Amino acid sequence: MSAHLLPLLAVLFATPALADAGHAQGHSQHYDFGHPAGAAEATRSVEIRMGEMFYGPASLQVKAGETVRFVLKNEGSLLHEFGLGSAAMHAEHQKQMARMLEQGLLTPTGMAHRDHAHMGHGTDAGGHGMLQHDDPNSVLVEPGKNAELTWTFTRAAELEFACNIPGHYQAGMAGRLRIVP
């Protein structure tokens, strides 16, 4: 393996240790508020519109035990992310996203086009080539594209759904997610 690929792989596969997230470093992550699920397991679908620094709707309520299929539609002209977590998790993930931007892995409208097949990237539910990073609680959606994220919420919590692309969260691209018993 070429030495210049090692920093790239380190960034792509780095998973910060987030104490309140309840998960360990590596790809076998555990989140104390739930876990990823298959679309067929969903008990409800929620459409989320993404635009320039907003989500529609701006807040959601789900029940503990519910599996929700989020259908994400990026109607804006910029790359956006839909990530589930606490404010502290988002702050930590923003650091990772900033590193990806600094290394040229992100552009304002997408992921840098490299051979993503071996780097934890894939396609959206329709096989349309939407790039995603490998955090199971978040997905990147390019302008004009759609994607999905299905999640089972396991306990009551106050969370956020947010875009952690540098500057987006700070510009107000975050919504409230309340998980009720």
Cβ atoms of 137 and 27 closer than 8 Å = no
The answer to whether position 20 is within a domain reads: no
Position 126 in a domain: yes
* Closest-CA residue to 5 (of 97, 119, 133, 95): 119
Q: For residue 64, tell me if it sits in a domain.
A: yes
Q: How confident is the model at residue 10 (pLDDT cuts 50, 70, 90)?
A: very low
- Cα–Cα distances (Å) from 113 to 58, 73, 85, 134, in that order, read 31, 21, 28, 16
- Domain count within the chain: 1
pLDDT of residue 96 exceeding 60, the answer is yes
Residue 57: inside a domain, yes or no?
Answer: yes
Please state which of the ranges 6-10, 54-58, 81-85, 158-162 shows the lowest mean pLDDT. Answer: 6-10
Q: How far apart are CA 134 and CA 12, in angstroms?
A: 8
Task: Give the C-alpha distances (Å, rounded to integers) separating 142 from 7, 25, 80, 102, 111.
Answer: 24, 27, 7, 19, 8
Q: Strands 67-74 and 44-51: what pairing?
A: parallel
Which residues form the domain of 142?
A: 31-180
pLDDT of 56 higher than 60: yes
Residue 147 lies in a domain: yes
The per-residue pLDDT for range 124-165, each reduced to its tens digit, is 343 333 333 678 999 999 999 999 999 999 999 999 999 999
Q: Is residue 8 assigned to a domain?
A: no
pTM for this structure?
0.74
- Tell me how far apart the alpha carbons of residues 139 and 124 are, in angstroms, rounded to a whole number: 9
Distance CA 9, CA 7 (A): 5
Tell me what the pLDDT averaged over the chain comes to.
79
Residue in 45, 39, 77, 41 with CA at minimum distance from that of residue 60: 45
What is residue 78's three-state secondary structure?
A: coil
Region of 85 please: left (phi>0), alpha (psi -120 to 50) or beta. Answer: left
How high is the pLDDT of residue 30? 75
Q: What is the pLDDT of residue 15?
A: 30
Q: Is 48 helix (H, G, I), strand (E, B) or coil?
A: strand
The Cα 90–Cα 161 span in angstroms is: 9
Residue 85 maps to which CATH number?
2.60.40.420
- pLDDT score of 29: 62
Instruction: Judge whether 4 lies within some domain.
Output: no
Identify whether 169 is part of a domain: yes
